[in-house]
Amino acid sequence: MSDAHKEKPEGVPGYDVVTAADSYSNITGLVSGFALTAVILAFTVAATAELTPAQQIELGFATTLFALGFVGCLLCAFSFASLSGEQSSVATLTNSMLIGSGLSVCIVAVLGGFEALAAAFLPDTALVFLVVCTGMACAAPPFVWFPHWDIVQRFGAPEYAGPPEDQAQAGSLLLKISVLGVVAALGGLAIHSSGLLGESEHWEYVALTFIGLAYTVTMVLSGLWVSTWTYRARISARLTWALATIQSITIFALIALLP
């Protein structure tokens, strides 16, 4: 039996994404609905209010981030829903990591959209959304990549080189990735607070939105490929580092460019 489809050993504890997939799908779909409502609100404000040039930039940033959150979370919600019909395996756990990586960017984008909206109309409250956005970015990496630990715990060592061999290696990888995520989030906050980048330009937040959407789509499609076409369902520590770095850089840029 291949590494991707080993059954869970009797009596071995561990996280089962198939059981949790329905709840994940519902929550992610709810966030997508919030983002869509925020987009409609932003369009309504733009059509009915007289905006200053600064407010137009901030509202435009908010709208594009909400759009990223809406589309990205919707894709992730469908992907989590599809996992609920799968057999619990290494592949489903790996798929959940890839979906979660894209989802983390989308959720930070939604929170960033609220910060941009607050900066345009309620500047005194923008700090609250900025802190929440940064806190979410700091907390995301361990939640996203924790299934590495569960894969080793439930299914043992991999049958090929590259992925974590045991819980010690998985724990070390998670710790380092978590530090990377915190550094990226706090670094983005420091750049934002210093004002080194000046006012955000239209092309910057449009480009950032497309980069975030491209990353999310890539993660969703990669998860589908892992679940469907390959028996080597585990991703290597090196590839995990690469994906976590892209995820962290995207979130760093998002926070740094917030109004």
Q: C-alpha angle 52/72/106, rounded to 5°? A: 65
**Number of domains forming the structure of the chain:** 1
The secondary structure element, H or E, covering residue 1 is: none
Does residue 74 form part of some domain? yes
The whole-number pLDDT of residue 13 equals: 53
**Could you list the residue range(s) of the whole structural domain that residue 21 is in?**
16-257
pLDDT of 54 strictly over 50 = yes
Q: pLDDT of 118-176, one tens digit each?
A: 888 888 888 999 999 999 999 999 999 999 999 998 888 888 889 999 999 999 999 99
Whole-prediction pTM value? 0.88
Q: If you compute the radius of gyration of the chain from its CA atoms, what whole number of angstroms results?
A: 19
User: Which of 53-57, 120-124, 201-205 has maximum average pLDDT?
Assistant: 120-124
Does residue 35 form part of some domain? yes
Does residue 161 form part of some domain? yes
Percent of residues, the chain, with pLDDT higher than 70:
90
**pLDDT interval class at 14 (50, 70, 90):** low
Average pLDDT over residues 227-243: 82
Does residue 1 form part of some domain? no
**pLDDT interval class at 201 (50, 70, 90):** low
Does residue 92 form part of some domain? yes
Between 231 and 145, residue with greater pLDDT: 145
Does residue 9 form part of some domain? no
Ramachandran angles phi, psi of 15, nearest 5°: -70, 135
State how far the Cα of 91 lies from the Cα of 93, in Å rounded to an integer.
5
State how far the Cα of 174 lies from the Cα of 183, in Å rounded to an integer.
14
**pLDDT interval class at 11 (50, 70, 90):** very low
Average pLDDT over residues 22-51: 88
Does residue 231 form part of some domain? yes
Say if residue 126 is exposed, middle or buried (CB neighbours under 10 Å; 0-12, 13-18, 19+): buried
pLDDT of 24 strictly over 50 = yes
The whole-number pLDDT of residue 6 equals: 47
The whole-number pLDDT of residue 5 equals: 45
Does residue 248 form part of some domain? yes
